[in-house]
Structures are given as structure tokens and as C-alpha cells.
Amino acid sequence: MEDLVKAGTRPWLLMVIHVVFCTCLASIAGALVCFVSPLAAGSGIPEVKCRLNGIDLPLVVKSRTLLAKACGVLFSVSAGLPCGKEGPMIHSGAIIGALFSRYVVLGSNMLRDIELRDLITAGGAAGVAAAFGAPIGGMLFALEEGSSFWNAKVLLQALLCSSASALTLNFFLGGFDSIGFGTLGALGVLTFGDYFEGAKTSYHIWELPFFVTLGLLGGLVGAGFNALNIPLTLWRIRRVGASGWTRFLEVLLVSACIAAVFFVPATLSQKCYVTGVEHGSHKPGELDLICKDTLAGQTGLGLFVTPSEDAIKVLFHDPHVYDPGLLSLFGIMYFLLACWTYGLGVPSGLFVPSLLVGAVLGRLVGQSLQLLSSRVAPPGMYALVGAGATLAGMARITVSLGVILIEATGNTQYSLPILFAVIVARSVGNLFNEGIYDIHIQLKHIPFLPADAAHVNTTLVSCIMTADVATVGSIESVTRLERILETSHNAFPVVEPGTSQYCGMLSRSALLKLLQRVRCPLDQSEALPSRGSSLLGPQTEVDLNPYINAGAYTIEDTATVRRAYVLFRTMGLRHLPVVRGGCKLCGILTRKDFLERVGGEA
């Protein structure tokens, strides 16, 4: 583009070339989602949350989804769409954790479901650490936004994986950036520039109300974003669908419109078609945004054609005053286009758009305060606090977000304003609606069990359990096992033949593998424990005891629903047998029981 500008190409032709190029890049990302893996769309964080909540979404952690996600996000970001790669990186890390559990064997047994859940959690934490260079923030994000179950072991695993991820990324980025392999620093895929703390960057105690006000504004902006995105998402679900040509054509239309809209200001002004970020000549850490075609600074016009991540950095570090009108116009346009993009059929994250919108908001507040007094903190610092507040208002992330921003900037000086702002933003946003991830989970009708169990009453488990349970005996015929598989259940309680004596649980996958070995054993060593005929036929009785999970969680029928709910959710269960006297099976609890009966009383 820079060469075309120097060659004197007409502005309208530059705009056409820009739109066509961006649309072609977006088409590759859209094709990967629409025709390869529909679950690669969006950030993937809602789907990972559901998987860790105990919901069976097998395609979420498939290698095909990883391919579409990791490759597609490169093209969607390069196309200039208002999205980021941080959410897809979290999803990709979770998939890598799931794939690791699939191919690694401990001793003679594959990793069990509980270890699979922990590895997905650790993989998500590693994704955050790779995105921001924030290992502690990655661990806290997995705790706050991802995992339903947490203990010291999971914490250490997540911290180890996120630290290894940040270390690996720093090693390679240091070499590729000519710093030298082996030179490590606070690097990440998304960096916010260098902060140098001093007297001129400090803030006063009387500025704390302004930071709290930024949190209030960030919560309102986040709630407004979520409210606008709800009808758009519902329309896409009804009219566009999850895959196919209709969704692909929407990607082409939206990407072309966004590329054209962002290029209009440069076309009308006939300058600043290409921008660049340079280090300031006055103080260390300062950045200047210049127009390469005029080799001059600008007052906000360059933001429209600058990559989103560079725009965030200059709003944090550029010492120049931006035109309030241009800055406001850019913020409003970016807010609306980001809302239009979220839910589009491309891999896209929410972190960068929300941070950029918040940085514009904070910059406007900071510049306005400097007109009143020169003693206030620099506008870039208000932009940093505003960025965190807006992201907290949209996604309702608090502690982990504050730590991520502190780690990514290396600026501990503003830890308190950031934490104050994100907490206020979350509280204000919760007055109007839920976080954007929880909203999309509800709109897709995924049976997610929230952490807040305040609505769960003290009714006994026996009042809501399903009493008619499909069970199998510890010794069953092949015919009976094949018949039980005609049901849609994922696991079956095992009882002693002719009694209700509970023995354990038998998963559907284990039963399918067992019957496969019955029909065609590979060799004599795989012969199954059986009774009756020496030949394995339909009436052969198979001893299921070696395949039973005798340590599956159970609950007494006299326990309260609240206790069952907490156990069910924190352990990511799909079924919870109800026993009487510790051994007699009398029912079972599933996610449906909680959502329909308990949720209906809320």
C-alpha cells in the first residue's frame, strides 16, 4: 500500500485495493470456520467453559478445530477486522491439553476424565500466558473464568504450564526480534509497550474518584455492548446458521464493509493511508503514531488505519494530544463494528476490541482532566485504566484481568486504580446483564451450571432425582448390553444381579469397547471374563466388574439439593447416582434434573 501511495494512485483506487485485499484474507478465515470446523468461530472461551463445566462437547477439543482456529485467526486479524487473537489462543491451548491427554499413557491406562479436565484447564492458562506474557495472570484466568473445580494440584499444574508457555514464547520472540536467542524479557504476543515509573507518571489520591468513574463508564459501555450483541446473535442463529454458504457470504460482506468504513477518513482527507509507530524522541517508553505518506504526526486520523494492537500502544504512550472529535468518532465506530464482528464466522477474540474501546474512553477522560489541571496523571495512564474497565464490563473478569494488565505492562504503580476500576465495572455491568461469554452460552441453549447456587433450595435429593434408572447387572448377557446401548445415556449404574446393590458406574465408551472385543477379539489374550458357553455369542454372560468405575461419586437420598448441586458442578459430573444406606441404588441425578426442576424454582 505504501508503494501505491508513493506512486500517486488515486484515493478511490487505493480504497478498492484495500477492501479487496482485506476481504480475501477474511475469506480464508471464514472458509476454515464455515466448511472445516464451525466451532472454531469466535473466541472459543464459552465452549471451553462449558467443557470444563462437565458438558460433553467433543468437537470443541478436536485437532480439526485446532487447525481451523490457529490458522484462521491469523487471517481474520490480518484482514483488519476489529478482533484479537488472545481468545483463540486460549481455546488453542485448551485443545492442545486435550490432545496431550489423548495420546499420552500413564502406565497401562489412559488419562481419566478428571485428568483430562485438569489438562484442558492448564492448556487454557498456557494460552493466556502466551498471549500476554503473563503466567500468573494465565493461572488466575483459568481459575476465575474457566475451571469449575480448583485445588492446589490444579493450581500448580496451571502455573507450571503457563510459565513454560511464557518461557518458550520469550525464547523464540527474543531470537526473531534480533534481541538474541536466550535473551528473555516481558514479551508476549500482545504487548503494551514499556512503562517507566516516575514522579510524572504517578497519580494523586484525589484522582481515585476519577478512576472509579472510569470503572463506572467501562461497566456501562460493556453492558451496552452485550445488550447490542444479543439480538444480532439471535438473528444469526435463526437466519445464518453455524456453517455453510450463508455464513461464508456474511463473512465476505461484513469484512468488506468494515475495511471500507475504516478507510473512508483517509480517503476523504487524502492523507494518512499508511501509518507507523515510532519511539518518541523525548522520553523513554513514549511512542509516536505518524503518517508514512506525509512523514508527519497526526491528531487521531491515523487510528482508523492502524492495526488494533498498535493503536492500543500509542493510546497508552503517545504524549501528543489527540483531537477529541476524531477520537470520539473512532471509538464509536470501533465499538459498533466490534459488536458486529463478534459472533461472525471467523476466529476472533474480544480482548483487543474491548481494550481499544476502553483506551479511547480513558484517553478522552485523561485529556479532559488535563485541561482542568496539569497535575493529573498522563492521559495514557487513564487509557490503561479505561481499557481494563471496559474489558471487565464486557467479559466480567476482575482479578485475573488486573494481574494480566500489570504483568503485560510491568506497571505496578497503577495496580490499585486498575483493580478498583475492573471491580466497579463488573459490578455496574452485572446490574444490566451477564458477561458476554455467559450470554452466548445461554443463547446457544447449552446446559451450563453457573457457580452461583443461591437459588438452589434445601429440598432433599430424593424429591428431584430420576427414579427410573437404566441399570446393568455386574454380570450381563451380550444381548442385554446391546439393548441398553439403544438408550441415549452416557453411563449406566451397575448393580448386583437381582438386587439394587450399587457396584459402580460403567461409561458408554467403555461398554462400546467391551462389546467390540466380544464380537472380534484380536487374540486369545483379549478373551473376556465370561460365564456360560466357551464361545462368545449373544447369550454369553460377561463379567463387568473389571470395567466398572467403583470410585464414582455418589450421594445419599437424604442430602440436600444444594449439596448435590455443588458436588455435581465442581467435579464436572454428567451423572450422580443416588443411594440409600450407602449401597442401595434408588435414583440418579443429571444436569437436566438441576436445570429443569431446580432452575424452574429460581
Would you say the C-alpha torsion 392, 396, 398, 404 has a positive or negative sign?
A: negative
Which CATH number does the domain 461-601 belong to among 3.40.47.10, 3.30.2350.10, 3.10.580.10, 3.90.180.10?
3.10.580.10
Q: Where is 364: in which H helix or E strand? A: helix 351-372
CA distance 92 to 471: 38
* pLDDT band for position 5 (cuts 50, 70, 90): confident
- Compute CA 221 distance to the chain's CA centroid, rounded to the nearest angstrom: 20
The answer to whether 423 and 211 are in contact (CB under 8 A) is no
Does the pLDDT value for residue 204 go beyond 90?
A: no
Could you tell me if residue 29 is left (phi over 0), alpha (psi between -120 and 50 degrees) or otherwise beta? Answer: alpha
- Adjacent-strand bridge partners of 106: 109
Cell 466497579 belongs to residue: 424
The answer to whether 353 and 221 are in contact (CB under 8 A) is no
Q: Where are the domains of the chain?
A: 191-241+266-448, 461-601
CB atoms within 10 A of CB 293: 17
In a 3-state reduction of DSSP, which class is residue 296? Answer: strand
- Per cent of the chain over pLDDT 90 is 48
- Compute CA 542 distance to the chain's CA centroid, rounded to the nearest angstrom: 44
CA distance 98 to 23: 33
8-state DSSP, 148: S
- Per cent of the chain over pLDDT 70 is 87
Q: Where is 305: in which H helix or E strand? A: none
Would you say the C-alpha torsion 355, 359, 365, 369 has a positive or negative sign?
A: positive
User: Which is it for strands 491-495 and 502-507: parallel, antiparallel or unpaired?
Assistant: antiparallel
Rounded alpha-carbon distances, angstroms, from residue 431 to 325, 434, 600: 30, 8, 22
User: What pLDDT, on a 0 to 100 scale, did the predictor assign at position 286?
Assistant: 75
* Average pLDDT for 115-144: 89
CA distance 387 to 306: 17
* CATH architecture, domain defined by 191-241+266-448: Orthogonal Bundle (1.10)
* Average pLDDT for 59-66: 92
User: What pLDDT, on a 0 to 100 scale, did the predictor assign at position 110?
Assistant: 40
User: What pLDDT, on a 0 to 100 scale, did the predictor assign at position 18?
Assistant: 92
Chain length of the chain: 602
- Adjacent-strand bridge partners of 578: 555, 587
- pLDDT tens digits along 229-252: 999 999 999 999 999 999 999 999
- Compute CA 168 distance to the chain's CA centroid, rounded to the nearest angstrom: 22
Would you say the C-alpha torsion 57, 59, 62, 66 has a positive or negative sign?
A: negative
* pLDDT band for position 549 (cuts 50, 70, 90): confident
CA distance 387 to 331: 12
CA distance 130 to 510: 36
- pLDDT tens digits along 33-46: 999 999 999 999 99
8-state DSSP, 528: P
User: What pLDDT, on a 0 to 100 scale, did the predictor assign at position 58?
Assistant: 78
All three cell numbers of 401, joined, read 484481568
User: What pLDDT, on a 0 to 100 scale, did the predictor assign at position 454?
Assistant: 62
Summary mean pLDDT of the chain: 85
* pLDDT band for position 147 (cuts 50, 70, 90): confident
CB atoms within 10 A of CB 151: 10
Cell 466398572 belongs to residue: 548
